[in-house]
Chains A and B, each alone.
Chain A
Amino acid sequence: MAFERLSERLQAVFRQLSGRGKLGERDVDEALREVRRALLEADVHFRVVKEVLERIRARAVGEEVLSSLTPAQQVIRIVRDELTELMGGANQGIAFAPQPPTVILLCGLQGSGKTTTAAKLAFRLKQQGRRPHLVAGDLYRPAAVEQLQVLARQVGVPCHTGGPQAAGDAVEAAAQGVAAATEQGADAVLVDTAGRLQVDAEMMEELRRTRDRVKPHEVLLVLDAMTGQEALNVARAFQEEMELTGLVLTKTDGDARGGAALSARAVTGRPIKFVGTGERVEQLEPFHPDRMASRILGMGDVLTLIERA
Chain B
Amino acid sequence: MSFFDRLKQGLARNRSGWVEQVRRTVTGALRVRGRVDEELLAELEESLLEADVGLAAVEAVLEALRQQASAEGLRSPDQVLSALRALLAEELRRHQQSLATPPEAPGVILLLGVNGSGKTTTAAKLAAQLGGAGQVILGACDTFRAAAGEQLQVWGDRIGVPVIRQEAGSDPAAVAFDTVQAARARGARWAVLDTAGRLQTRSNLMSELAKIHRVVERALGRPADERLLVLDASVGQNGLSQARLFGESVPLTGLAVTKLDGTARGGIVLAITRELALPVKLIGVGEGVDDLQPFDAGTFVDALFGEGSRSGADA
Contact = CB atoms under 8 A, between A and B. Distances in A.
Interface residues of A, number: 56
A37 B200 CA distance: 24
A42 interface: yes
A224 B200 contact: no
A45 B235 CA distance: 13
A111 B154 contact: no
Interface stretch (B33-41, B74-82, B217-225, B261-269): B261-269
Given A40-B49, A140-B287, A150-B147, A50 B237 contact: no
Contacts of A133: none
A136 to B, nearest CB: 12
B236 interface: yes
A226 interface: yes
Interface in A247-273: 251, 253-257, 259-260, 266-267, 269
A228 B304 CA distance: 14
A147 interface: yes
B201 interface: yes
Interface stretch (A3-11, A170-178, A229-237): A229-237
A47 B115 CA distance: 28
Nearest to B245: A255
Contacts of B238: 43, 226, 254-257
A199 B263 contact: yes
A229 B151 contact: no
A109 interface: yes
Interface in A182-237: 197-199, 224, 226-234, 236
B11 interface: yes
A226 B262 contact: no
A161 to B, nearest CB: 13
Contact of A228 (B3, B118, B262, B268): B268
Nearest to A154: B146
A142 B55 contact: no
A102 to B, nearest CB: 24
A260 B151 CA distance: 29
A112 interface: yes
A109 B55 contact: no
A192 to B, nearest CB: 12
A273 B104 CA distance: 53
Interface string B230-248: 0010111111010000000
B7 A48 contact: yes
A232 B14 CA distance: 12
A27 interface: no
A112 B200 contact: no
B124 to A, nearest CB: 8
A51 interface: yes
A32 to B, nearest CB: 14
Contacts of A113: 115-116
Contacts of B259: 109-111, 197
A196 to B, nearest CB: 10
Given A251-B115, A254-B200, 14 more contacts: A50-B10, A110-B118, A111-B232, A142-B152, A143-B151, A144-B151, A147-B150, A198-B263, A226-B238, A226-B239, A227-B234, A253-B201, A255-B241, A266-B4
30 contacts: A40-B54, A41-B55, A43-B237, A45-B50, A46-B50, A47-B7, A47-B11, A47-B14, A109-B234, A110-B287, A111-B118, A141-B287, A142-B152, A143-B147, A146-B146, A147-B150, A199-B263, A224-B232, A226-B235, A226-B239, A230-B265, A232-B11, A251-B114, A253-B199, A254-B202, A254-B238, A266-B3, A269-B4, A279-B144, A279-B145
Interface of A: 37, 40-43, 45-48, 50-51, 55, 86, 109-113, 140-144, 146-151, 154, 197-199, 224, 226-234, 236, 251, 253-257, 259-260, 266-267, 269, 279
